[in-house]
Structures are given as structure tokens and as C-alpha cells.
Amino acid sequence: MGDKIYLSTGELAKMLGVTKQTVIYYDNIGLISPAKRGEKEYRQYTLEQADELDSILTFRNIGVSIKVLKEYLSERNAKRCIEMLKHQKEKVDKEIQKLDRIRKKIESRAKLLEKVVEVKDLKKVEFVYHEQEVYMIEECKEADEKSHMQSFTALCNHSKQLGIDFENPICNIIRKKDLATGAYEKTAHFGIKIPDDFQDANIERFIKPSGTYAFTYHQGSYETMNLTYERLIAHIKKHGYEVCGNAYETDLLSTLTSLDRNEYLKLIAIQVCKN
């Protein structure tokens, strides 16, 4: 009756719902070794070790690394266990925050695309009042395509670092003076909307003022954008308005959603005032 019960590698693995290879791996790296070896060097584990391995598997399932586990098991006690669990909780909380941002980004992009595919008349112009918005911006100092891409990438990376890239897509901002001369391709800044109370002293802010904006869509390649601008500005004048602010271009359908450049879609908004 007093004989100790031993479990083979297979029996231990079956009891804990893991593979034999997992048990052997943990032995090979020195995490938990068999109590003794029987004939032909077969591993034999005690029931106490089954309980220990179950605890190790629990720690691994919550993300504790092999290195941290080894250090803990060599000098295990309740205080160190509490410290290890608290540290792991902090890591899990950060991961949850990261996943929540990803979820919001997915939801935001899906809702945007759902609205886009429901649009029936892409040439329709609407005049809509909008409240003031705050943007984080990156200046486009040069007009060439390479410089534009560098500015765009810089803003993308900065917004990701700050965790504000999920709410809104990046837009191109074209100055009023460039609209007046027909330089519609001349992006002054790339911008992304941020909360009004966002606290970060290291970002350059840009205020998109409240007021009435004329909205329309551009479908097709970027090379034909001037035609859409001419149509939009002509509509603005026809309805007794004049351009009194900047233009804001937002990609809705681009390389991510279409292989055909003729299916690319941008939303263009220009601030207007009554004559």
C-alpha cells in the first residue's frame, strides 16, 4: 500500500491533455525532469510531479515565458508567485488594450466601407454643416511623389505610436490659395483626426474650422482628380457659394480594396461660404 505510484510519459501526457512530445521537451530543457528512469531509461513521474506540471502548463497558458518559469521554479514561494502573476497581468492588460484598438480599427473601416458601397450617385454634391475638428498633421514640404510618401508614412507611424490610427483614415489637405490657382494636386499636409482633448505636446495640430462644406466623390485614378475639382467648384458657384477654406481628400477605396485604378474612390470636402 505504501509503494509510490509512478506515471509513464504517455500516462502523464494523457492525464494532463498534452502530447508526449511536450512532456519530453520540458524534461530536455530542464523545466521538470522525471523522478526516476526505469528500464531502457523510460521516464517515470510521481503524482506530485503531475500536479507540478499542471501548474507549469497553467503558467504557460497565461503567457509566462520558459525563462521566467525556470527562474521562479528554482526559488519558488508565494511572494514570488504573486509578483510573477501581477507582472503577467500587466502584460495581458496591455495586450487587451492593443487588441481593443485593432477591433475598433476593424469596426471603423468596415462601417466606412459599408457606407461607401451604399452610395448611389457619386457625382452628387451635398452642402453639410460640420463642427470644428482637430487634426494631427505632417507637412508636405516638397511637391514630388517621393516626398509625399515620406510625409504620409511619417504620419502613419506617428499615429500608430500614439494609438490614434484606428478612428479615421488619413486625409490630404489642400490650401485655399492652391484651389484658387487650380493646383488641386498640391497637398500641403497629411492629417488625421484626433480627439479635441488629446494630450501630447509633441504633435503638430491643425484646426479644421466649423462651417459648411461641399462634399462630392471622385472615382478613378488620381490623374483625373482635376476634373472632379472643376465639377465641384462649378457646383459651388452655381448654388451661390464661394470657396472660403481648404479642401480635404479622404481615400475610401484604394489599393487595399481594388485592383482597378478606375475604381479608386475619394471623398472631397471643401469649406464654403454664402456669397
H or E stretch covering 56 = helix 47-61
Position 255 pLDDT exceeds 70: no
Residue 180: the pLDDT is 95
Residue type, 220: G
pLDDT at 115: 81
In a domain, 30, yes or no: yes
- At 158, which CATH number? 3.20.80.10
User: How much is the average pLDDT of 44-54?
Assistant: 93
* Of 106 and 136, more confident: 136
Residue 167 has pLDDT above 70, yes or no: no
Query: If you average pLDDT over every residue of the chain, what do you get?
Result: 88
Do both 64 and 171 map to the same domain?
no
Per-residue pLDDT reduced to its tens digit, 186-212: 999 999 988 777 777 678 889 999 999
Of 76, 102, 131, which one is at a domain's C-terminal end?
76
pLDDT band, residue 44 (cuts 50/70/90): very high
Question: Are 122 and 265 contacting, i.e. CB atoms less than 8 angstroms apart?
Answer: yes
Long-range CB contacts (< 8 A, 24+ apart) of 196-204?
Answer: 196/134, 198/134, 198/136, 198/164, 200/162, 203/136, 203/158, 203/162, 204/136, 204/137, 204/138, 204/139
pLDDT recorded at residue 3:
67
- 137 has a pLDDT exceeding 80: yes
- Please tell me the pTM assigned to this model: 0.66
Percentage of residues of the chain with pLDDT beyond 70: 95
Within this chain, do residues 141 and 231 fall inside the same structural domain, yes or no?
A: yes
pLDDT band at 75 (very low <50, low <70, confident <90, very high): confident
pLDDT at 269: 96
Distance (Å, whole) CA 248 – CA 208:
9
Is there a single domain that holds both residue 129 and residue 257?
Answer: yes
| Count: domains in the chain | 2
Let me know: does 272 contact 232? Beta carbons within 8 Å.
Answer: no
Mean pLDDT for 20-26 is: 94
Q: Domain boundary at 52, 76, 100, which?
A: 76
Whether residues 47 and 157 share a domain: the answer is no
**Which pLDDT belongs to residue 253?**
78
Beta carbons of 31 and 73 less than 8 angstroms apart: yes
Consecutive H or E run containing 138: strand 133-139
**Spacing of C-alpha 13 from chain mean position:** 39
Question: Is residue 98 helix, strand or coil?
Answer: helix
CATH of the domain at 20: 1.10.1660.10
Q: Is residue 84 part of a domain?
A: no
Residues 258 and 123 in one domain: yes
144 or 85, which is more confident: 85
Query: Of 50, 76, 102, which residue constitutes the final position of a domain?
Result: 76
Q: Are 66 and 192 members of one domain?
A: no
Same domain? For 256 and 184 the reply is yes
The predicted structure's pLDDT at residue 217 = 94
Q: Indicate the pLDDT class of residue 258, thresholds 50, 70 and 90.
A: low
Backbone angles phi, psi at 85, to 5 degrees: -65, -40
pLDDT score at 1: 44
pLDDT of residue 166 exceeding 70, the answer is no
CA 29 – CA 257 distance, rounded (Å): 47
By percentage, how much of the chain surpasses pLDDT 90? Answer: 53
- CA distances (Å), 99 to each of 90, 104, 163, in order? 14, 9, 11
Name the burial class of residue 226, with classes exposed (0-12), middle (13-18) and buried (19+) by CB atoms within 10 angstroms of its CB.
middle
Indicate if 125 and 229 belong to the same structural domain. yes
Write down the pLDDT at residue 57: 93
R_g (Cα) of the chain, nearest Å? 30
* Angstrom distance (rounded) from CA 94 to CA 87: 11
Q: Are residues 179 and 263 part of one domain?
A: yes
* Shared domain check, 127 and 216: yes
Domain of 32 in residue numbering reads as 6-76
- Grade residue 40 by pLDDT with cuts at 50, 70 and 90: confident
| Residue 153 sits in the same domain as residue 68 | no
pLDDT at 275: 85
